[in-house]
Amino acid sequence: MSAQPSTQARVTVNSLRDKKAAGDRIVCLTAYDASFASVLDANDVDVVLVGDSLGMVIHGGDTTLPVTMDDMLYHAKAVNNGLSRAMLMVDMPFLSYTSVAMALDNAGALMKRAGAQMVKLEGGSDQCDIVSALTAHGIPVCAHLGLQPQRVHKIGGYRVQGREPSDAEHILSEAQALQQAGADVMLLECVPAALAAKITSELTIPVIGIGAGNRCDGQILVLYDVLGISAGRIPKFSKNFLQDSGSIADAIKAYTEAVRTGAFPADTETFT
């Protein structure tokens, strides 16, 4: 039986801000098609991300770099067809925002043609002009710091970022700059829990963590990791919620409850 669509109001940027202000944790997951999206939507996931991680978990690649705008548009449109409550966030793929004009064209396409409510892009203060231009034209932005998969070759692999004091200060400074530029949400990937907690407390915008401890305003994981069906090794910061559940829907419920109560991530899923 397919999941029933939610009758709750659609999650918005203001909804996420209100959750941060109230101390209510934000639940996020990735999805790449309408069927999974409808299950997430029916089980009260707040934000569904069509991530360029599809290049690895759907296409079977080693990195996210080959993912194209056409890929993102196709999957985002499919996911949007499965949503009625959750916010739809969509990744800007590698080299799709190298100029303000390009960023506006591509982000605009994701919103007009695929139904995106927010776009996500990687990079620090070097992206402030892009973030400012997008927000000035009514496009909500999630900034992405810490481990940035689109820069995997530049940073030397999939490694925890911000362990050295100078690196931690740099990430905090970058987060503040992106917020000042107009970012609506911050995503922190693979950073020490203490650093993520500090950034979360100092920013006024919601902070979503993945491999960033449980003191962020919310959490996100790759759905395929949550279900234990990703090829290869599941990251330390993830957890298979399906193995102790009777169905995919129950696994999603277990994940949402664990995030909202602060039970996930536990110390074993956290970097120091």
Per-residue confidence (pLDDT) for residue 1, from 0 to 100: 40
Per-residue confidence (pLDDT) for residue 232, from 0 to 100: 77
- Specify if 8 maps to a domain: no
8 A C-beta contact, residue 33 and residue 75: yes
Tokens of 217: 């305003």
Per-residue confidence (pLDDT) for residue 234, from 0 to 100: 82
- Specify if 161 maps to a domain: yes
- Specify if 7 maps to a domain: no
Question: Per-residue pLDDT for 5 more than 80?
Answer: no
- Tell me the chain's radius of gyration from C-alpha atoms: 17
- Specify if 6 maps to a domain: no
CB contact burial 192-214 (16+ within 10 A = b; e otherwise): bbebbbbbbeebebbbbbbbbbb
Question: Per-residue pLDDT for 209 more than 60?
Answer: yes
Question: What's the mean pLDDT when you consider all of the chain?
Answer: 96
CATH number for the domain that contains residue 63? 3.20.20.60
User: How many structural domains compose the chain?
Assistant: 1
- Specify if 5 maps to a domain: no
- Specify if 4 maps to a domain: no
Q: What are phi and psi of 217, to 5 degrees?
A: -75, -15
Question: Per-residue pLDDT for 3 more than 70?
Answer: no
Cβ neighbours of residue 19 closer than 8 Å, sequence gap 6 or more:
25, 26, 46, 206, 217, 218
CA gap 10, 89 in Å, rounded:
13
Per-residue confidence (pLDDT) for residue 155, from 0 to 100: 92
Tokens of 73: 């548009």
Q: What residues does 91 pair with on adjacent strands?
A: 120
CA gap 158, 181 in Å, rounded:
27
Question: Per-residue pLDDT for 204 more than 50?
Answer: yes
Summarised one tens digit per residue, pLDDT across range 36-92 is: 999 999 999 999 999 999 999 999 999 999 999 999 999 999 999 999 999 999 999
Query: Domain residues for 261?
Result: 13-269
CA gap 210, 223 in Å, rounded:
12
Question: Per-residue pLDDT for 6 more than 70?
Answer: no
Question: Per-residue pLDDT for 142 more than 70?
Answer: yes
Cα 104 to Cα 50, 88, 112, 124, 245, distances in angstroms:
18, 18, 12, 18, 42
Percent of residues, the chain, with pLDDT higher than 70: 97
- Specify if 233 maps to a domain: yes
Average pLDDT over residues 258-268: 97
According to the 3-state scheme, what is the secondary structure of 8-59?
CCCCCHHHHHHHHHHCCCEEEEECCCHHHHHHHHHCCCCEEEECCCHHHHCC
| Catalytically annotated residues | 189
Average pLDDT over residues 28-37: 98
Per-residue confidence (pLDDT) for residue 36, from 0 to 100: 98
